[in-house]
């Protein structure tokens, strides 16, 4: 009997243009859109301004190093600090470099002169990139210059090197050595797309067919509607993952079967609040407004952008109690990207299962009460 309802609902969903666009085409389109936004691995040609008061061979070497670096593009040479500040305020440049008078002379006399980097911190992505790479250039030049000065003052080469670099360390970045934005963000977005399309699809279907679903065999028919919506949303999710891999070159190292299991469980979990909200509102327009309003706060609070261990404990507790994305998004991405084993995500899957059972019982009770068929 359940299979009969499911086949019927799959057919109805497939022929409902609004729902199929939402469930199937929506995630694929959004993946292509967001992937296109972050298609460049890094920010390049960040416009900067240089104010060189010293105009020595050393200062010109520093300016040349910035000019030859692919991350920066020197577009302005202001004459005063006030002019440089004005360029930052007007966003003509995102970073300024100030080299003071007697810079080269003070280096020779080991007076530790200061070159100033002014970064527009109002844009975190640009600010962090500009500051990190500018600091790296300055430190590299400073170490090289210090070695030359020590050699000139009679230190032997090896001795000069050890004084300039008192210790060494090596680093190894795992999984994403280039630290690209697209690798970090796109799979997380795909997890949220699955949430949003399932939330909207299930909720709108419940509102459309509420009275009919409540007539008889409510539980079977309700779950049939959830599975029919979930089938298309999960299918489009994995097509989106394939797009991320084949078109945007995001490495997929993990177990797709485990990711599929997680997605199915998450569809069931997110269907519970979808049914509750839809049953309370019973209005498609209001429901759609609420559903899409929830996308940003639930993503912000799920521990993906800001890790769970750094979130306030009361917020984590409330989020785990009310919303299932916190059990899914980070683990889904890390299973695909880092090849996490089942043991690493088992606890969250169990908690998501408990969440689903409890809130689905609440959802069915509210649904039956709100869509109760009145006897003639």
pLDDT at residue 104 in the model: 81
Residue 280 has pLDDT above 80, yes or no: yes
Q: What share of residues in the chain are helix, strand, coil (percent, to 5)?
A: 70, 5, 25
Listed by start position, the domains of the chain span 2-38+180-370, 46-164
CATH architecture of 46-164: 3-Layer(aba) Sandwich (3.40)
- Each residue's pLDDT tens digit, 34-78: 998 887 766 778 999 999 999 888 889 889 999 988 889 999 999
pTM as predicted: 0.81
pLDDT at residue 167 in the model: 43
Q: Which of 81-85, 107-111, 121-125 is predicted most confidently?
A: 81-85
- Each residue's pLDDT tens digit, 8-28: 878 888 788 888 888 889 899
pLDDT at residue 154 in the model: 56
Share of the chain above pLDDT 70, in %: 89
Please state, in angstroms and rounded to a whole number, the distance separating the CA atoms of residues 135 and 42: 17
pLDDT at residue 255 in the model: 94
Residue 315's alpha-carbon distances to 312, 333, 364, in angstroms, are: 5, 22, 27
- Each residue's pLDDT tens digit, 150-207: 555 555 455 545 544 444 455 566 777 666 778 888 999 999 999 999 999 999 999 9
The answer to whether 96 touches 50, Cβ cutoff 8 Å, is: yes
pLDDT at residue 329 in the model: 95
Greatest alpha-carbon pair distance for the chain in Å reads: 105
pLDDT at residue 77 in the model: 94
Residue 268 has pLDDT above 90, yes or no: yes
pLDDT at residue 373 in the model: 62
- Each residue's pLDDT tens digit, 284-329: 999 999 998 999 999 989 988 888 888 899 999 999 999 999 999 9
pLDDT at residue 166 in the model: 47
Please state, in angstroms and rounded to a whole number, the distance separating the CA atoms of residues 225 and 206: 8
Higher per-residue confidence, 335 vs 14:
335
Share of the chain above pLDDT 90, in %: 52
Please state, in angstroms and rounded to a whole number, the distance separating the CA atoms of residues 48 and 94: 6
Residue 32 has pLDDT above 50, yes or no: yes
Residue 145 has pLDDT above 70, yes or no: no
- Each residue's pLDDT tens digit, 126-143: 887 888 888 888 777 776
Q: Return the H-helix or E-strand segment holding 97.
A: strand 95-99
29: burial class by Cβ within 10 Å (0-12, 13-18, 19+)? Answer: middle
pLDDT at residue 290 in the model: 93
- Each residue's pLDDT tens digit, 342-376: 999 999 999 999 999 999 999 999 999 998 765 54
């Amino acid at each position: 009997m359940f299979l009969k309802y499911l086949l019927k609902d799959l057919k109805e969903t497939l022929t409902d243009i609004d729902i199929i666009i939402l469930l199937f085409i929506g995630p694929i389109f959004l993946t292509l859109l967001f992937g296109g936004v972050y298609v460049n691995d890094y920010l390049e040609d960040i416009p900067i301004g240089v104010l060189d008061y010293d105009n020595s061979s050393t200062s010109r070497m520093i300016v040349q190093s910035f000019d030859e670096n692919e991350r920066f593009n020197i577009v302005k040479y202001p004459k005063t600090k006030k002019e440089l500040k004005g360029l930052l305020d007007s966003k003509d440049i995102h970073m300024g470099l100030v080299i003071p008078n007697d810079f080269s002379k003070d280096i020779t006399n080991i007076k530790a002169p200061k070159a100033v980097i002014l970064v527009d911190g109002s844009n975190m992505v640009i600010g962090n990139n500009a500051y990190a790479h500018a600091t790296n250039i300055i430190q590299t030049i400073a170490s090289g210059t210090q070695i030359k000065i020590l050699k000139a003052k009679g230190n032997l080469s090896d001795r000069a090197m050890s004084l300039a670099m008192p210790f060494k360390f090596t680093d190894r970045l795992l999984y994403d050595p280039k630290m690209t934005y697209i690798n970090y963000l796109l799979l997380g977005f795909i997890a949220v797309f699955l949430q949003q399309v399932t939330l909207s699809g299930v909720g709108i279907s419940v509102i459309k067919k509420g009275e009919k679903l409540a007539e008889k065999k409510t539980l079977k028919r309700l779950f049939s509607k959830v599975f029919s919506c979930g089938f298309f949303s999960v299918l489009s999710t994995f097509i989106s993952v394939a797009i991320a891999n084949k078109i945007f070159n995001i490495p997929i190292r993990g177990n797709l079967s485990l990711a599929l299991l997680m997605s199915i469980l998450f569809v069931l979990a997110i269907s519970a609040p979808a049914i509750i909200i839809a049953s309370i509102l019973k209005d498609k327009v209001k429901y759609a407004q609420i559903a899409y309003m929830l996308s940003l706060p639930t993503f912000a609070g799920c521990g993906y952008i800001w890790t769970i261990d750094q979130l306030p404990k009361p917020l984590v507790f409330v989020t785990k109690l009310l919303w299932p994305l916190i059990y899914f998004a980070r683990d889904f991405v890390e299973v695909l990207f880092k090849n996490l084993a089942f043991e690493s995500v088992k606890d969250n899957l169990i908690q998501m299962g408990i969440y689903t059972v409890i809130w689905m019982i609440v959802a069915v009770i509210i649904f039956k009460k709100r869509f109760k068929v009145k006897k003639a």
